[in-house]
Structure 1
Amino acid sequence: MKSHQIESWALDVIERTLTGAPNEDSRVELKREWPEPPEKAARQIAGHANAARGASLLWLIGVDQRSGVVGVQHNELASWYSQINAQFEGLAPAMQDLNIPYNGVTVVALHFETDRVPFLVKNPAFGQQRGGPVEFEVPWREGTSTRTAHRSDLLSVLSPIAEIPEFEVLQGNLKIQDIGKEDLQQLVLELSLYVHKDSSDLLVIPFHQCSAWCNIERDDRQYPFDQIELSSPVELVDKQWIQTSKTIESTSTELLIHGPGAIELSAQTISSLRDTGVASLRHSVPIHISLQPSKSQYSIPIDVTLERRQNVPLIGETVMHYSNVWGLSWR
């Protein structure tokens, strides 16, 4: 989700909270302060994410249903989330944070992607005396409380996910380019994908429901892409570019998938990197993409890591080039 969408969502929740309206959106959680201890907070996040069934979540830190907007310090996020992340087994929900100034204080919006369910957390009692043999738990949110997931809960999450098509990354390139304006760079992402789809049902992916981000700097700051497009490969026939795929179609607003086939993804954004020096940029850049099919509560995650190109001359305004072509790995 783009930053302006998160801010709009958060402001809408804040305004409704200040009018005394109850929070009726199951995807939203309000916290007066940074939730502690880490074990409890991680369990709440995991339970909320598992029960969301692929829908994104919004946690607002510094907002209370009774007291209204009280604000918090954003600089506490790094240490807080590192402790939270350590409580997860294998993978935590992807998180995007945003500072939202409101009436002289700052609310921190935490947007969680839940498209990689299920999420497991560590049992803090495991390994201790009388701690029992259970090492991990799949939490589940029910109402305002968190419990252990039942078998039916897991089936409700995993069964629809099994029907989601698989996207394979064939090639990838990410370029950082100067655009002639001070302290601004353009990030340009290009991926060649192949979709493996068993069902004959039409799958429609609107571009405005897609999101992507990358971690380009060593401090783990996420850079979201603003413009994302998916297209069917084209060929030049009789001096005209035409789509030749029999299973993939694309328009200016969406991608239509009838069956397996090749897809081109492009995304770009203009950002201000803190430092474009080689020492401050990652050697390996993780990229996360989320595709949200129309009329589906489940999004499709695509993760790829591109490596810095070595000993390749940079042309024009290109500052850095990452790729998985010519023997460079992606994972």
Structure 2
Amino acid sequence: MQTAQFEASVVAVVNALRAGSPMEDDRIELKRDWPDPEKARQLAGAANRVAGEYLTYIIGIDETGKTFPIGNVDPATWWSQMQAHFDEVSPQLVQQCAVHVSENEVVMALRFLSDRAPYVIKLANAGRSEREVPMRDGTRTRSAFRHELLRLLYEPSLVPTLYALEGRLSLSEPSVDPYSKTSSPMQMSFSARIYFECSRDAQVFMPHHQMSIELAGGGIERSLGEVFWFSPKELAGQHRGAILWPDGIELRGPGVAEINGVWQFPDLSIDDFAHTTVLHVRLSLAVAGTRAATLSMECGNRKVSELFGGKRSVSWSLAP
């Protein structure tokens, strides 16, 4: 998510609060003050509840929409102290920013990724108990039940691990229609060969409409949305691997699939990428009925070429 989009979502939450809409989303936590690091149990419980999704802390506001001073707390120091209470792994702090919700009011927004649940908390001075798996339940945090632990452990087993074998991004300047003299927007194309690592008896489907891509580099951040297309292949005799269908990818076992996408950028020109040497790509492919599999790629090896008619083209390929 772009920083501006994240800020806009926080402002929308505050506006909704002040309009009288109650907050009932497990993915958003409102905090009047910076949580004490000893409150890491509450963060772990909230992350376990939304396992695989993003969790947002908005600090400096309460449930009525009233704001409070956020002070001069260093988010990096605060987060380091919180992480110390987690056993082995913690949620990933992926975004942080101060958000102006009015001319004179500022809140701090933190966005966590919870794709490594279950999260375990180390207990201090708790007798024989040394660790706990917390779970958010309404407005309280309790220990997780067995069936909740089974869900946290089972769902990730369905999510394949992705490896990029090849990747390429290309930009080309708009072409001008010789009759109307109008030009089309700048176009970007993306192609990649992805290896899907999963069990040999996998029964996994990743719907086309739940696939997305995020692009960042050279000061440009874009969420490109549902843009992938596939060419269905002949299935005769194919008993395992990644099968491409018009509506998504079916996994019958480990295998390779080629995915492609094309987007237009009417608000940009190729000169905006003149000094961009590396572009970062993040793919998200949701597994039906559970969380998403993600893959981050760094495309460098920049190459500039000239196409027919004097148009320029710039491409980046997956770094070796």
Normalized against structure 1, the TM-score is what? Answer: 0.64
CA shift, 1:6, in A, is: 3.8
Q: 1:167 to 1:156 in 2, by over 3 A?
A: closer
CA distance in structure 2 between the partners assigned to 1:36 and 1:320 by the alignment: 47
CA shift, 1:112, in A, is: 2.7
Q: 1:95 to 1:175 in 2, by over 3 A?
A: same
CA shift, 1:100, in A, is: 3.0
CA distance in structure 2 between the partners assigned to 1:178 and 1:149 by the alignment: 53
1:248 equivalent in alignment to 2:237:
no
Alignment of 1:243-282 (within 5 A): 243-244=232-233, 246=235, 247-250=243-246, 255-257=248-250, 259=252, 262-264=257-259
Gaps of 5+ in 1: 180-185, 235-242
Q: 1:301 aligns with which of 293, 296, 308?
A: 293
1:28 maps to 28
Q: Which amino acid aligns with 2:99?
A: I
Q: Which amino acid aligns with 2:294?
A: I
Aligned 8 A contact 1:224 1:269 in 2: no
CA distance in structure 1 between the partners assigned to 2:129 and 2:189 by the alignment: 46
1:210 equivalent in alignment to 2:212:
yes
CA shift, 1:299, in A, is: 2.1
Per-residue CA distance 1:200-252 (angstroms, 9 max, x = gap): 57541315x635477x79xxx996644564343x5xxxxxxxx43533124xx
Aligned 8 A contact 2:2 2:221 in 1: no
Alignment of 1:1-331 (within 5 A): 1=1, 3=3, 6-37=6-37, 39-40=38-39, 42-66=40-64, 68-70=66-68, 72=70, 76-88=74-86, 89-104=88-103, 105-121=105-121, 123=122, 125=124, 135-162=130-157, 164-173=158-167, 191-195=192-196, 196=198, 198=201, 203-207=206-210, 210=212, 212=214, 225-227=223-225, 229-232=227-230, 243-244=232-233, 246=235, 247-250=243-246, 255-257=248-250, 259=252, 262-264=257-259, 289-293=283-287, 296=289, 298-304=290-296, 306=298, 314-315=303-304, 323-324=318-319, 328=320
**Range 75-84 or range 103-112, more displaced:** 75-84
CA distance in structure 2 between the partners assigned to 1:7 and 1:73 by the alignment: 19
RMSD: 4.6
CA distance in structure 1 between the partners assigned to 2:264 and 2:99 by the alignment: 21
Q: Which amino acid aligns with 1:210?
A: S
CA shift, 1:14, in A, is: 1.3
**Range 24-33 or range 165-174, more displaced:** 165-174
CA shift, 1:293, in A, is: 4.6
Aligned 8 A contact 2:299 2:318 in 1: yes
Normalized against structure 2, the TM-score is what? Answer: 0.66
Q: 1:222 to 1:158 in 2, by over 3 A?
A: farther
CA distance in structure 2 between the partners assigned to 1:6 and 1:155 by the alignment: 32
Aligned 8 A contact 2:170 2:313 in 1: yes
Gaps of 5+ in 2: 174-186, 236-242, 306-311
CA distance in structure 2 between the partners assigned to 1:227 and 1:106 by the alignment: 30
CA distance in structure 2 between the partners assigned to 1:166 and 1:205 by the alignment: 16
Q: Which amino acid aligns with 1:169?
A: Y
CA distance in structure 2 between the partners assigned to 1:85 and 1:187 by the alignment: 40
CA distance in structure 1 between the partners assigned to 2:28 and 2:73 by the alignment: 22
Aligned 8 A contact 1:227 1:267 in 2: no
CA distance in structure 1 between the partners assigned to 2:233 and 2:8 by the alignment: 40
**1:54 alignment partner, SS class:** coil
CA shift, 1:17, in A, is: 1.6
Q: Which amino acid aligns with 1:18?
A: R
CA shift, 1:111, in A, is: 2.8
Aligned 8 A contact 2:212 2:285 in 1: yes
CA shift, 1:87, in A, is: 3.6
CA distance in structure 1 between the partners assigned to 2:150 and 2:220 by the alignment: 32
Aligned 8 A contact 2:99 2:108 in 1: yes
2:309 maps to none
